[in-house]
Amino acid sequence: MNSSKIIILEDLPVEMLMEIFIYFTADQIYFSFSQLNNSFNLIIKSLPKLILVIHGHFDPSVLSFFNSFNKILYKFCGSRMCCGRCQSHSINGGNRLYEIYPEIDHGWYPEFHEDRFPYYPSKIDNIIHPENYSRLQSLVLPNASSKLTQLIFHGEFSRLKICHLGKCGSIILPCSMTIQLQNLRQLTIRGQQGHVLEKILLACPCLVYLDFSCRSCVPAFHFINHCFPSMKYLRLGRLKNFFFHNGQFISLLSLFPNLLQFHLIVDQCAYDVETIKIQEIANYLHQQCPLLKILVLCIHMEEHLRRAFYIGSFEKITKMHSLFNYVEQWDPRLAISSHEVYYQYGQCAVTAKYSKKNMKLTHRIMDMLDDLSIVYWPDCQSLLNVLRNETYNIWDQDVDLSIEWPFKSNHIHSKLNNLQLFIETFQNNDFNVEYYPDRKLFSLSSVNEKSARQPHVDIWLWKRYDEHEIKPVLQLFDSSLKYQSRLMSDIYPLKSVTWLGRNVKIPRQSHKIAYKEYGISYMKPIFIRNNCLHNLIDGRWFYNR
């Protein structure tokens, strides 16, 4: 072996070690390298950009080994909670939806059992001290104690830029804040009293993202006499006794002239009820928030004001503001939003479990079609979902795919032109198959389930007509379709897009097809929760959740 020199790991330049360790979390570094030797320990103990990811089963020796951390992130193993970073989703034609925690807190704060989670949040709070974490820039926890929160707002973590604490113990801040957290850019803090909001804004004048929730009213601000131009993403809920037309709403909006994203969940005042005038709300948003791209407005209304006489036509509401795309009413809420919003409870009985199961089924079917080299594309309402950057339709969560069939004679699986063999191929891949010959439609579901009532994917069979035709077409004569004879040039060549987290193909002229199928307003859906007849007729209200 011709080797000039062998270099041991600790002899590498510190800069090179930093480049290596940037790809590891603190616990990975500790368990992989801390037992090498003392000199190497001195190097890794003081790494400047350490990320600590705390799982349910966490070894406390990791905390005591390192001098400081750059980021501390709490993460549950095996649950849907993963708050490691700010989630960003593309919606509304490419606008970004930023969120740390979901709209509803339920499910994010399970019962902690010391035998399963020996370092649950209250104990983690007690370990985090300013003298040991002077370099801390990012802190993400599902909840935090009053003690830790007080330390943060008294400026003990001076470098902190990102702070998401979820539900916190009550914090006490003086009326006139002399300490300002100039570096703090993102903050989530929930479960506070309403009067704390003003004090947080005074203490954190440079926030870009704020998620604040309480279970009380937010009184008028007395100390704030300026706006907050840096604020771009604001989430407020659930504010009690809120008024839209006495100056409270417009005063709130005037503080944040550069908002891009605004979530507001409020309760009407029960003892001094005002009639909600949606057009005035739209006017306030136009005047005060001209840059707004994403909106969620949820109003918990008093009973006698929930009738259509007071709310107005849902179709008219969608014309009042460019972001009033979705209007939903279900007692006691009225929700107006720019994009699809799914709530954990109080929603259509099928939306949660049914839709998630159907997405898994869709991925399985797409995998099968890919394996068979069968070209497919989303169609009908699923094509709308792709064009609108949605996951699924809130009222009809079944997925529609289209294929060209029969296949050409030179297709690798032309034998599947035999209908029975085609059905058996689906069945051999563990799908239940229902075929509707009059509609030229396969309906696929999981084994032992009937498609009409359970999650399913419809596959439409389009037939090619190109012999002696000036303009070759794909045809499918079904009464549910309006554009039944589609130009081949509208379909092919298919375009690649991302949907459901994977690459799929859609028709070349997808917008033209959607326009012909659904009309000029195809990009602006209107959902009326009280009219969920499709799910009711199909018996999905009794779906096993």
Average pLDDT over residues 33-58: 69
pLDDT at residue 110, rounded to an integer: 38
Distance CA 91, CA 120 (A): 35
User: Who's near 238: CB < 8 A, 6+ residues apart?
Assistant: 213, 214, 215, 265, 266, 267, 300
Nearest to 438 by CA among 381, 476, 408: 476
Nearest to 77 by CA among 52, 107, 57: 57
- The residue among 157 and 333 whose pLDDT is bigger is 157
Average pLDDT over residues 39-56: 69
| pLDDT classification of 461: cutoffs 50, 70, 90 | very high
Distance CA 311, CA 308 (A): 5
pLDDT at residue 303, rounded to an integer: 62
| pLDDT classification of 526: cutoffs 50, 70, 90 | low
* pLDDT for residue 524 is more than 80: no
**Burial category of 35 from C-beta neighbours within 10 Å (exposed 0-12, middle 13-18, buried 19 and up):** exposed
pLDDT at residue 57, rounded to an integer: 60
pLDDT at residue 187, rounded to an integer: 92
- The residue among 486 and 466 whose pLDDT is bigger is 486
Token match 């859906």: residue? 525
pLDDT at residue 528, rounded to an integer: 44
For 217-246, write each residue's pLDDT tens digit.
Answer: 999 898 888 999 999 999 998 899 999 999
| pLDDT classification of 20: cutoffs 50, 70, 90 | confident
Distance CA 441, CA 462 (A): 9
The mean-pLDDT minimum among 216-220, 302-306, 434-438 falls in: 302-306
The mean-pLDDT minimum among 76-80, 127-131, 134-138 falls in: 76-80
The DSSP bridge pattern shows strands 399-404 and 456-465 to be parallel
- The residue among 344 and 194 whose pLDDT is bigger is 194
Nearest to 385 by CA among 534, 532, 523: 523
DSSP code at position 327 = E
Q: What is the mean pLDDT of the chain?
A: 77
The proportion of the chain whose per-residue pLDDT surpasses 90, expressed as a percent, equals: 32
Q: Of the ranges 20-29, 55-64, 395-404, which is most confident?
A: 395-404
The DSSP bridge pattern shows strands 51-54 and 485-487 to be unpaired
**Rg for the chain, CA atoms, rounded:** 28
pLDDT at residue 316, rounded to an integer: 84
pLDDT at residue 413, rounded to an integer: 79
| pLDDT classification of 534: cutoffs 50, 70, 90 | very low
Map residue 29 onto helix, strand or coil.
Answer: helix
The identity of residue 269, as a single letter, is C
| pLDDT classification of 424: cutoffs 50, 70, 90 | very high
pLDDT at residue 312, rounded to an integer: 62
Structure tokens at 120: 């649950």
pLDDT at residue 59, rounded to an integer: 67
Q: Of the ranges 25-34, 56-65, 373-382, which is most confident?
A: 373-382
Omega before 190 within 30 of 0, i.e. cis: no
The mean-pLDDT minimum among 208-217, 287-296, 301-310, 485-494 falls in: 301-310
Q: CA quadruple 505, 511, 516, 517: dihedral positive or negative?
A: positive
For 329-385, write each residue's pLDDT tens digit.
Answer: 766 778 888 876 544 333 454 555 667 788 889 999 999 999 999 999 999 989 988
Q: How far is CA 425 from CA 99, 430, 432, 444, in A?
A: 42, 9, 11, 12
Longest distance between any two alpha carbons in the chain, whole Å = 89
State the CB neighbour count (10 A cutoff) for residue 420.
8
Question: What topology is assigned to 351-542 in CATH?
Answer: Beta Polymerase; domain 2 (3.30.460)
| pLDDT classification of 431: cutoffs 50, 70, 90 | very high
Domain-by-domain residue ranges, the chain? Answer: 351-542
* pLDDT for residue 106 is more than 70: no
